[in-house]
């Protein structure tokens, strides 16, 4: 028998030894909980394709935010579902919009909780696209600069209502710079921007569109969200957003894009977020329901992988459970 000098298994012999050499640990502080607040309901509604995820009424959302904080979470990402939609997404930037109302109430009860708001127009547009559209015969266009103007109004209105950070998720060109400039010019220099910098057009968003009631009524989002085949382009997108003033950059979805996450974190050294999206969530939930996976072990493995691949911040529908599971 050959004498081995190196036996890596020596450090795997017991749980205590493995803990000593563990390189990546997840804690409650890594996670952001997405919350959906709807103006259309009085009582929480389950989302069929995402078991365990609910839309909350304006009355309930404060308690839900408080509950998240009590569990040890530090941040929420707020999505709004308005009563009425139109072609200018006016519900997104009115002073008494659903997100604006929710923010004021949450900030009053939980001033320490970091409130991040999704800044997009799709939930507020009657056609469900993330921007202003123009239809020419069979073709439709999502107009970039016209959309950016509305995104700026939305971001300003969220910031004025108390958002600590705005998170534009639309993928229009130039919106980070425009929002940064508007915040600064309106005496809101402290409001941060978490940019959905590399957001890919993905089949994994399906269940979210039920949650946010935002499926496009025609066409798809490929003229603004990125092609899943492109990594170099993702890096260019991230560089643009950083140059325009993004404080945090995000990669979305998560598991199929670990290479992008790694390259973004390594290449730019900026706080980097990843969004573990609805389809990724639904897939695991279905597997758990069928008895294929143990939920806790599966989710902890996925979240550890995301952090190992460079994520500083993980947005996940399991944030509540993880706050507990991560305690061990
Ligand atoms: Zn959108």
Q: Chain-wide mean pLDDT for the chain? A: 96
Q: How far is the CA of 203 from the centre of ligand 1 (A)?
A: 14
C-alpha angle with apex 207: 132 to 86, nearest 5 degrees? Answer: 25
Q: How far is the CA of 299 from the centre of ligand 1 (A)?
A: 26
* Residue 209 pLDDT level (bands cut at 50, 70, 90): confident
Annotated catalytic residues are: 199, 252
Give me the phi and psi of 125, to 5 degrees please.
Answer: -95, 135
How high is the pLDDT of residue 207? 84
Whole-number Å distance between alpha carbons of 292 and 122: 35
How high is the pLDDT of residue 219? 83
- Report the phi/psi class of residue 183: left, alpha or beta, with left for phi > 0 and alpha for psi in -120 to 50: alpha
How high is the pLDDT of residue 216? 82
User: Between the CA atoms of 42, 46, 47 and 48, what dihedral angle is there, to the nearest 10 degrees?
Assistant: -140
Q: How far is the CA of 119 from the centre of ligand 1 (A)?
A: 8
How high is the pLDDT of residue 211? 79
Which value, in Å, is the radius of gyration of the alpha carbons in the chain? 20
Distances (CA, A) of 206 to 59, 67, 132, 140, 300: 27, 27, 22, 21, 23
* Residue 213 pLDDT level (bands cut at 50, 70, 90): confident
C-alpha of 252 from chain center: 8
Q: How far is the CA of 209 from the centre of ligand 1 (A)?
A: 9
pLDDT tens per residue, range 86-131:
999 999 999 999 999 999 999 999 999 999 999 999 999 999 999 9
| Length of the chain, in residues | 328
How high is the pLDDT of residue 140? 86
Q: How far is the CA of 130 from the centre of ligand 1 (A)?
A: 4
Whole-number Å distance between alpha carbons of 303 and 319: 10
pLDDT tens per residue, range 21-79:
999 999 999 999 999 999 999 999 999 889 999 999 999 999 999 999 999 999 999 99
How high is the pLDDT of residue 8? 97
Q: How far is the CA of 121 from the centre of ligand 1 (A)?
A: 6
Q: What is the mean pLDDT of residues 134-161?
A: 94
* Residue 328 pLDDT level (bands cut at 50, 70, 90): low
pLDDT tens per residue, range 150-187:
999 999 999 999 999 999 999 999 999 999 999 999 99
Tokens representing 299?
């989710």
Q: How far is the CA of 131 from the centre of ligand 1 (A)?
A: 8
pLDDT tens per residue, range 301-327:
999 999 999 999 999 999 999 999 988
How high is the pLDDT of residue 218? 81
Tokens representing 101?
């109302």
Tokens 């957003």 locate to 241
Q: Which residues contact 310 (CB under 8 A, 6 or more apart)?
A: 261, 262, 264, 265, 266, 272
Q: How far is the CA of 259 from the centre of ligand 1 (A)?
A: 24
Q: How far is the CA of 123 from the centre of ligand 1 (A)?
A: 7
Q: What is the mean pLDDT of residues 17-21?
A: 97
Q: How far is the CA of 122 from the centre of ligand 1 (A)?
A: 4
């Amino acid at each position: 028998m050959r004498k081995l000098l190196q036996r890596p298994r020596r450090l795997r012999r017991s749980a205590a030894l493995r803990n000593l050499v563990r390189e990546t640990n997840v804690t409650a502080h890594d996670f952001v909980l997405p919350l959906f607040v709807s103006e259309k309901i009085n009582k929480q509604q389950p989302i069929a394709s995402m078991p365990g995820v609910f839309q909350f009424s304006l009355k309930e959302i404060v308690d839900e935010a408080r509950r998240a904080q009590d569990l040890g979470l530090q941040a929420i990402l707020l999505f709004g579902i308005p009563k009425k939609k139109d072609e200018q997404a006016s519900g997104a930037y009115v002073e008494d919009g659903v997100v604006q109302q929710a923010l004021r109430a949450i900030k009053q009860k939980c001033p320490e909780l970091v409130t991040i708001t999704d800044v997009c127009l799709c939930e507020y547009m009657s056609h469900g696209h993330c921007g202003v559209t123009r239809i020419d015969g069979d073709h439709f266009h999502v107009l970039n600069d016209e959309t950016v103007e509305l995104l700026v109004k939305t971001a300003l209105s969220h910031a004025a209502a108390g958002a600590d950070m705005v998170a534009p998720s639309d993928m229009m060109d130039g919106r980070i710079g425009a929002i940064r400039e508007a915040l600064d010019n309106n005496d809101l220099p402290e409001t941060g921007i978490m940019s959905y910098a590399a957001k890919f057009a993905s089949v994994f968003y399906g269940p979210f569109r039920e949650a946010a009631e935002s499926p496009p009524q025609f066409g798809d989002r490929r003229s603004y969200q990125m092609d899943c085949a492109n990594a170099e382009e993702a890096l260019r997108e991230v560089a643009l957003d950083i140059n325009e003033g993004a404080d945090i950059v995000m990669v979305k979805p998560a598991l199929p894009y670990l290479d992008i996450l790694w390259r973004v974190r390594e290449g730019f050294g900026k706080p980097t977020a990843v969004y573990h999206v609805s389809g990724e969530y639904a897939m695991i939930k279905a597997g758990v329901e069928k008895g294929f996976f143990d939920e806790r072990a599966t989710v902890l493995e996925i979240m550890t992988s995301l952090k190992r691949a460079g994520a500083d911040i993980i947005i996940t529908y399991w944030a509540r459970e993880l706050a507990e599971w991560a305690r061990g």
